[in-house]
Amino acid sequence: MRTNSFSRRSFLRRMGGAIAFPLVVPASVLGRDGAVAPSNRIVMAGIGLGGRGTGDLRSWVLPEKDVQFVAICDVRKIRRDAIKDITDKHYGNQDCKQYIDLKEMLARPDIDAVLIATGDRWHASASILAMRAGKDVYTEKPASMTVREGQAVVATAAKTGRVYQAGMQRLSEPNFVVANELLRLGRLGEVKTVYAHLAPGGSVFLQRRWLTPEPEPPREEVDWDAWLGPCPWRPYHPSYLTGGWHSHHDFYTSIIGEWGSHTFAQCHAALGMDTSSPVFYPCLHKPVPNGMRMRFANDVELIAQQDGWRGTCGVRYVGSEGWVSCADGYSMPEVSRPSLLADYQKILADYCVRTGYTGQNHMRQFLNSVKSRGATVANPMLMHRSMTTVHCANIAQWLGRDLNWDPVKEQFVNDPEADRMLSRAQREGWQII
């Protein structure tokens, strides 16, 4: 590379005298006065930001001074308009761009990362497309619809080198962190039983019927074909767009997925089972599998249970020398004896040193990893293995029999029928994995 050098006077002469006064650069451009220079900002976009995604945007993205949110892709105009309005009001401009076509938005070279908060059916597919396009990914949960989707997310992240965080946000909340650390550090003694909260309501048995067809809106209002994406085609009905998809097999991971995507992940992380899954899944023959006892190869039982917590998304770890329980809304974890929490702050501080955790929210942990290129707490493998537990538990209930799983081969033991349920066919023209 040749280096050119010339004087300031020569430079001004070449510019034809166009610069006859000192160049004034705003402090914000240089990163002064608390601002972040553009070169240090993470440029983000959103995919499918409904209720949950709007909350993520308002609470976790827009407040971050080193993030610039620039675009929204959504198949619904009402959602695109709402996100643009929120974003433009926050920044005081009209710069947030709107897209219907996901690939068109992902082709923008200035976008570093995406926030994905579609329905379950699109989480893995959108993540894979985004990583292939060179974007880092924060995706809401449940983060896969099948075991094969989870494998594809892991493989894509490894191949592309992109940072990936699943929205299992309790992995970054202090009370849950301390509860997990009590188990990991051996404070509870030998742990043979962990409990994961499944909330009441909902069912493991899902609808496979179509709702009564209604005329499709114009594509500009709702791109129904893109809303379905890789899922099997079915005629349009507006209730699918407003949460009615939750009870349908093509779109939903059942009550086990909705709650287990949080609580199973906590148990996997605490047990150090981020690269494995239980080997045994019982069928309970009931809509809500309360009391389902899944078993890891080391004989530790993961029990899905509805009661035992005062709040949602609870976990409980029981060892030979004590227990700890935590759920949303707890001011502190509940423990079998107060001494377990006597050094709560030190446990948290040591965890921060060991992992680089900053004590902030789950999105901030992702953003820090985007900058450092370090691992996230809800990394692709932990997501995949804990969601494998969800999918295998579902399949046992759907087939109506107990199942045995080989976590090394990632297939069921001598059960070809169950193995066929590890993937789903993707619609022609929308094949992503």
Q: What is the pLDDT of residues 105-156, one digit of tens each?
A: 999 999 999 999 999 999 999 999 999 999 999 999 999 999 999 999 999 9
- Distance in angstroms (rounded) separating the CA atoms of residues 354 and 393: 33
- 378-391: average pLDDT: 98
Q: What is the pLDDT of residues 414-425, one digit of tens each?
A: 999 999 999 999
Indicate if the pLDDT at residue 21 is higher than 90.
no
Torsions phi, psi of 193, nearest 5?
-140, 130
Report for 30-39, 194-203, 334-343: range of highest mean pLDDT: 334-343
Please, which pLDDT band fits residue 356 given cuts at 50, 70 and 90? confident
- Distance in angstroms (rounded) separating the CA atoms of residues 18 and 48: 47
Provide the b/e sequence for 188-200 (b: ≥16 CB within 10 Å). Answer: beebeebbbbbbe
Q: Domain 174-204+252-359+380-419's class?
A: alpha beta
Stated pTM of the model: 0.91
Contact 56, 140 (CB under 8 A): yes
Between 64 and 8, the higher pLDDT residue: 64
- Nearest CA among 83, 91, 92, 88 for reference residue 57: 83
Residues forming CATH 3.30.360 domain(s) in the chain: 174-204+252-359+380-419
Q: What is the pLDDT of residues 247-263, one digit of tens each?
A: 999 999 999 999 999 99
H or E element, residue 411: strand 411-412
Check the CA dihedral 202-206-210-215 and report its sign: positive
Which pLDDT score is estimated for 35?
A: 61
- For the domain covering 27-169, report its CATH number: 3.40.50.720
Q: What is the pLDDT of residues 203-238, one digit of tens each?
A: 999 999 999 999 999 999 999 999 999 999 999 999
Torsions phi, psi of 421, nearest 5?
-95, 5
Contact 83, 96 (CB under 8 A): yes
- 178-194: average pLDDT: 98
Percent of the chain predicted with pLDDT > 70: 92
Residues forming CATH 3.40.50.720 domain(s) in the chain: 27-169
| 322 dihedral zone (left: phi>0; alpha: psi -120 to 50; beta) | left
- Distance in angstroms (rounded) separating the CA atoms of residues 207 and 249: 6
Contact 168, 380 (CB under 8 A): no
Residue 168 exposed, middle or buried by CB count within 10 Å (0-12, 13-18, 19+): buried
Terminal C-alpha separation, the chain: 42
Which pLDDT score is estimated for 34?
A: 56
- Distance in angstroms (rounded) separating the CA atoms of residues 430 and 95: 30
Check the CA dihedral 162-364-378-231 and report its sign: negative
Q: Beta strands 301-305 and 292-295: pairing type?
A: antiparallel
Strand partners, 47: 73, 116
Rg for the chain (alpha carbons), in Å?
Answer: 24
- Nearest CA among 221, 255, 249 for reference residue 234: 249
